[in-house]
Structure 1
Amino acid sequence: MRGPRRDRRTPRQPLFVVLLALAAGAMLVPALHATALDDGVTARAFFSGAMVLGLGTAILGLALRGRLPDESAFAQLAALLAAYTVLPLVLAVPFQSAAGGGLGAAWFEMVSAFTTTGATLWDRPETLAPSLHLWRALVGWFGGLLIWVAAMAILAPLSLGGFEVRASLGRGDLSTRFSQVTRTAGPYERLDRYFSQLVPIYVGLTLALWILLIAARVDPFTAICHAMSVMATSGITPGYGTQAGGGTILAEVVILAFLLLALTRRSYARSLPGETERQGLMGDPEFQLGLGVIGLGAAALFARHWLFSSEGTNALTAIRALWGDLFTVASFLTTLGFESRYWDSATAWSGLETPGLVLLGLAIFGGGIGTTAGGVKLLRVYALYKHGLREIERLIHPSSVGGAGAEARRIRRAGALVAWIFFMLFAMSLAAIMLALSWVGVPFEDALVLAVAALANCGPLAVVAAEVPISYATLGQSGHAILGVAMVVGRVELLAIIALLNPDFWRG
């Protein structure tokens, strides 16, 4: 007979407590920066915040010391949801103390940063202290790191966050894929492993981008803020986009190269356990689809400008317009939201208005699964595309057999079904947010743009995609609360929130 099952869990702190400790340490960065700038008010606010939060976290950690962690699926998703709802309130306290205003406005600012949305209540960046801009960029950077690690350690094993497209047809969670293995790693073991693997990559890429932006003659402070924003696709800037800090077209070239990281997780991580495909980066369907969308989108916008050009076909003007279209399309597809310095030049070349609907569609598409980009995700779009293509083939040849292997058949069938369900949930969420915004007095067109910006985690859409730039500061507390909830829903995804209501997760 077998003996009693041993509990292999070891006592450790819950994920949320670890995040609180990291937040306390992060507050020292803007505190030291403000001290160097002789900004005593901001320095005191963040030093005090770091001390109070650090002391409170230490007391909480001592109280929970020696307890076994809850490794159920419900506990994992609940910790992730709490990180995007409760933690921004903690991060907002020193920000509110230094910037002034109400705590609700500071909470909105921190939710926007931590979910990598990038919406801001400060329409004029120069009115905010540099250290507070650094804090916004740093919070967004940490939010991007969290979703990198959580996607691999939490969402992928639970078949959520876009991974359900590949994990359909009864593949289940990670523990059911390897029945011959006597023991699978627990969630905290996976968190430790992926944290140790991904943090050096994330930090190294951020530093590399920072150095390259400085080499492109961008001011060092602006360069570090933009480097963190690009890595997290948060769109946070201490100025006015890529032109801030003396940015040149070379800086945009560097940023565009790093945006490819947001098209597929294979750009920084290999296949997950249980995935049958082992193709390289160029063979990844998400990467191929992302490049195709960028190329077609930029070509369509360029053709639109060229056909209606009022200044002739000057070669230099045409090249600038093409680059402005290419960079801006890639930026909004990855939900970064930076405009090219030549985006306005392209629209002025043709005399046509900004095609805001195109940018809304690009943001809804989003980037790859397991990346910092928001939106619906490219793999879901790919699954629906392959399913539609197969249905057209069956109309022409009803007796044909779909090939390309078991993985492709899985994506075309059950994967497409799950992707369609997510699209419907996304559309329902979009309608609900629009109704809520309309109820508090926001016009219909503005409500559409704001709802897409929040759910796709692409805050700059409100400024760029709307016919008249929308100011988040004019929405009032009710509008801020609605958009704050929408940002969290867009980042965590409604499927994961619905999974929290599943009784099977409570017992898992």
Structure 2
Amino acid sequence: MKRKSSIRHDLTQLPLFLLMFGAGAFSMFVPAAYALVADRHETSQAFFYAGLLGTVTFLLIGVAHAGRAPRHGALGPLLSLFSAFVFLPVIFAIPFVEALPTTRFYNAYFEMLSAFTTTGATLFDDPTRLGPALHLWRAQVGWMGGLLMWVAAVAILAPLNLGGFEVTAQAEPGRRETGLHSTTVVSARAKIGRALQTLAPLYAGLTMVLWALLTITGQSGLNALCYAMSVMATSGISAAGSAPGGGFIGEVIMAMFMLFALSRLTFTSDTMTATQGGLRTDPEFRIGLGIVILVPLVLFGRHFVGAFDLDSTNTFGSAFSALWGSLFTVLSFLSTTGFVSAFWSETQSWSGLGTPGLILMGLALVGGGVATTAGGVKLLRVYALYRNAVREMERLVHPHSVSGAGVVGRRLQSGGAFIAWIFFMLFALSFAGVTMALTLEGVTFDDALVLSIAMLSTTGPLTEVGGEAPIVLMSLSDTAKAILAGAMVLGRLETLAIIALLTPDLWRS
């Protein structure tokens, strides 16, 4: 027993990036085993040898690093998180390019980076080009990226007041500490360990439940597993390359699990321990549900405003299909998952909007909840700006009025709206910069807008439905792909975290 605890202690003393590297290398044995069972021996060998080489490398570096005291620093865990998103896709791309020798390593890296950041944009518009093991690997890498964000949100970003926690006032991890300078690598490791022990079984359990439910609807085991991992990670990766299978029941099941991306309170209370009322008073969940209900009703009601003279052929069934198609798709893009309902065509014909790409891009920009796998600006920041706007209008009518925060508003600090506005401006500047860089590379302006929003909001499927026609990413230049890769990392970590990494004063601490 003492030996096991000693080994566990030695592992926790290794650098965080090395631990993530070891976990990623060991996970390659999963697609290796699946390819072996599916009689795809060459693919199985590619993943097996890559996983074996990575595991041996991890063990050798771990042995060489044994006995060294971990370095202290406020931004050490954040730098490890940044390094994971930039460099781990290189390791993930090795078995990918070995199993698919018809592509370049550069394209394989882009594919793995897109999956690991839960963006889900793919260079391979023809899903039949990739074998089943490669589809499983893409979904698995995205699933691991989602788990990393679940853990990093509470253990790394929250103590540094990043990732949306900068607008909060109470009940968040790290608020009781004296500041950034008191946060050490040791305390971060303890938080990461506790968060991993708590969240990993929950994350895996929910994925298994969703997999089982989707399998019952009639989907194949591989498709159901890829959809289950993609929904939990909001990566939008599928093995079929089309609308989710399982019919209406399958989409209802997936929609229920997409609600986990609207608020962290849906699966844990580790960041809101002092909030009263639970989901009933959670501003993120309430705003998210409001958007999910309001936008489909607007699309549904537009039929009666602009196309009522064509409703002679419409039936109750087509109306219900149109309403559900819009509801599922709106929830999917608000959570930055990006799956399109099989009934979306009914919604388009009912509303009269051939390609409502602006609506989908707006939903992706808003994004999901703080400390979830969703991207975008985040609902809590939107709520902070909304509260500030309401208060300013009240002061126009009653200049000397004094307003109370209330139970819901107590989660925001006094300057939360100002900080949220700063983030929104940084996001807008990032969006403008990425769009300009893409246009300089010869990408049309419309496509550059869609690509910028898709990458910064980590909603890769926008490239297929956001514009008038799907954008073929493989046709882009290598420089344009590099710009998109940087935008994906920026969108996943957010601009404030990147700026924190460039702050000299924090590094001197």
Deviates more, 1:489-498 or 1:313-322: 313-322
Name the CA distance, whole Å, in 1 between partners of 2:262 and 2:19: 29
2:56 corresponds in structure 1 to: 55
Preserved contact between residue 242 and residue 251 of structure 1 (Cα < 8 Å): no
The 5-angstrom pairing of residues 92-103 of structure 1 reads: 92-100=93-101, 101-103=103-105
Deviation at 1:348, TM superposition (A): 2.3
Normalising to structure 1: TM-score of the pair?
Answer: 0.93
> What's the CA shift string for 1:195-244, capped at 9, x where partnerless?
00000100000000001111112111100010000000000000133444
Shift of 1:306: 4.0
**Cα 1:47–1:358 shift into 2, 3 Å:** same
Matched, 1:399 2:400: yes
**C-alpha distance 21-174 of structure 1, shift in aligned 2 (>3 A):** farther
> Which one is further off, 10-19 or 473-482?
10-19
Contact 1:225 1:236 in 2 (8 A): yes
Task: Give the unaligned 5+ runs of structure 1.
Answer: 1-8
Separation (CA, whole Å) in 2 of partners of 1:426 and 1:241: 30
1:284 aligned partner: 282
Match of 1:416 in 2: 417
Give the drift of 1:352: 2.8
SS in 2 for 1:73: coil
Aligned-pair RMSD on alpha carbons?
2.2
For 1:168-207, what aligned pairs fall within 5 Å after superposition? 173-176=175-178, 186-207=187-208
**Helix, strand or coil for the counterpart of 1:435?**
helix
C-alpha separation in 1, matches of 2:402 and 2:410: 10
- Tell me which amino acid in the other structure corresponds to 2:269: R
Q: How many residues align?
A: 493
Equivalent residue, structure 2, for 1:262: 261
Q: Does structure 2 conserve the Cα–Cα contact (< 8 Å) formed by 1:158 and 1:174?
A: no
How far the C-alpha of 1:471 sits from its partner, in A, is 1.2
What one-letter code is carried by the residue in structure 2 that aligns with 1:13?
L
Distance 1:131 1:363 in 2: 29
In structure 2, distance between residues paired with 1:34 and 1:334:
31
Contact 1:209–1:227 at 8 Å: present in 2 too?
A: yes
Single out whichever of 313-322 and 490-499 deviates more from structure 2.
313-322
Counterpart contact for 2:89–2:112, Cα < 8 Å: yes
Question: Which residue number in structure 2 is paired with residue 325 of structure 1?
Answer: 326
- 2:158 is aligned to 156
Q: Say whether the 8 Å CA contact 2:74–2:185 is kept in structure 1.
A: no
Mapped contact 2:375–2:491 kept (Cα < 8 A) = yes
Tell me if structure 2 keeps the 8 A contact 1:276–1:407.
Answer: no
Q: Is residue 2:106 matched to residue 1:104?
A: yes
Does structure 1 residue 42 correspond to structure 2 residue 43?
A: yes
Deviation at 1:272, TM superposition (A): 2.7
* Cα gap change, 1:19 to 1:185, in 2 (>3 Å): closer
Question: What is the identity, as a one-letter code, of the residue corresponding to 2:271?
Answer: L
Cα distance in 2 between the residues matched to 1:507 and 1:453: 36
Aligned residue in 2 for 1:250: 249
Instruction: Please tell me whether residue 23 in structure 1 is matched to residue 21 in structure 2.
Output: no
1:3 corresponds to: none
- One-letter amino acid of the counterpart of residue 431, structure 1: A
Residues in 1 aligned to 2:303 and 2:339: alpha-carbon distance in whole angstroms: 20
Paired AA for residue 373 in structure 1: A
Q: CA deviation at 1:479?
A: 1.4
Q: Which residue of 2 aligns with 1:119?
A: 121
When residues 249 and 35 of structure 1 are mapped into structure 2, their CA distance, relative to the original with a 3 A threshold, is same
CA distance 1:13–1:149, shift in 2 (3 Å): same
Distance 1:451 1:347 in 2: 24
AA paired with 1:77? L
Contact 1:158-1:173 within 8 A present in 2 as well: no
Query: In the alignment, does 2:457 pair up with 1:459?
Result: no
- Report the equivalent of 1:338: 339
- The answer to whether the Cα contact below 8 Å between 1:387 and 1:412 also exists between their aligned partners in 2 is no
Q: Distance in 1 between matches of 2:77 and 2:179?
A: 20
**Once the 2 structures are TM-superposed, how far is the Cα of residue 176 of structure 1 from its aligned partner?**
2.0
Once the two structures are TM-superposed, the CA of residue 164 in structure 1 deviates from its matched residue by 0.6
Please report how far the alpha carbon of residue 344 of structure 1 lies from its aligned counterpart in structure 2 after TM superposition: 1.1
Give 1:80 deviation, angstroms: 0.4
Find out whether 1:83 has 2:84 as its counterpart.
yes
The alpha carbon displacement at 1:269 in A equals 1.1
| Displacement after TM superposition at 1:359 (Å) | 0.5
Question: Is contact 2:31–2:137 with CA below 8 Å preserved after alignment?
Answer: yes
Q: Is the alpha carbon distance of 1:338 and 1:306 closer, same or farther for their aligned partners in structure 2, counting shifts above 3 Å?
A: farther
Is structure 2 residue 134 aligned with structure 1 residue 136? no
Deviation larger for 52-61 or 438-447: 52-61
DSSP-derived class of the 1:374 partner: coil
- Identity across matched positions, percent: 48
Task: Tell me if the contact between 2:22 and 2:58 (Cα under 8 Å) persists in the aligned partners.
Answer: yes
Which residue is 2:473 aligned to?
Answer: 472
Counterparts of 1:302 and 1:70, CA distance in 2: 57
The answer to whether the Cα contact below 8 Å between 1:158 and 1:172 also exists between their aligned partners in 2 is yes
Please give the residue correspondences for 1:5-24 in structure 2 after superposition, counting only pairs within 5 Å. Answer: 12-24=13-25
Task: Indicate how the Cα distance of structure 1 residues 497 and 29 shifts in structure 2: closer, same or farther if over 3 A, else same.
Answer: same
How does 1:346-495 map onto structure 2 within 5 Å? 346-405=347-406, 408=409, 411=412, 413-495=414-496
Q: CA deviation at 1:278?
A: 3.3
CA distance in 2, matches of 1:399, 1:271: 38
Measured against aligned partners, the alpha-carbon deviations of 1:127-168 in whole angstroms (never above 9, x if no partner) come to 210100000000000000000000010101110000111049
Shift of 1:505: 2.0
2:293 corresponds to which residue? 295
- Give the superposition deviation at 1:185: 7.4
List gaps (5 residues or longer) in structure 2: 1-8
SS in 2 for 1:86: helix
Q: Distance in 1 between matches of 2:168 and 2:249?
A: 38
2:72·2:185 contact (CA, 8 Å) conserved in 1? no
Distance 1:401 1:185, change over 3 A: farther
User: Match of 2:506?
Assistant: 505
Of the structure 1 ranges 222-231 and 35-44, higher mean CA displacement relative to structure 2 is found in 35-44
The one of 133, 147, 151 equivalent to 1:145 is 147
Q: Does structure 2 retain, via aligned residues, the 8 Å contact 1:360–1:452?
A: yes
* Kept after mapping to 1: 8 A contact 2:167/2:413: no
Q: Distance in 2 between matches of 1:406 and 1:177?
A: 26
Q: Distance in 2 between matches of 1:414 and 1:121?
A: 42
User: Secondary structure, in 3 states, of the residue corresponding to 1:375?
Assistant: coil
Distance (Å, rounded) in 1 between the aligned partners of 2:364 and 2:129: 29
Contact 1:259 1:334 (C-alpha < 8 Å) held by counterparts: yes
Question: How far apart are 1:108 and its partner, in Å?
Answer: 0.3
The alpha-carbon deviation at position 175 of structure 1 amounts to: 1.4
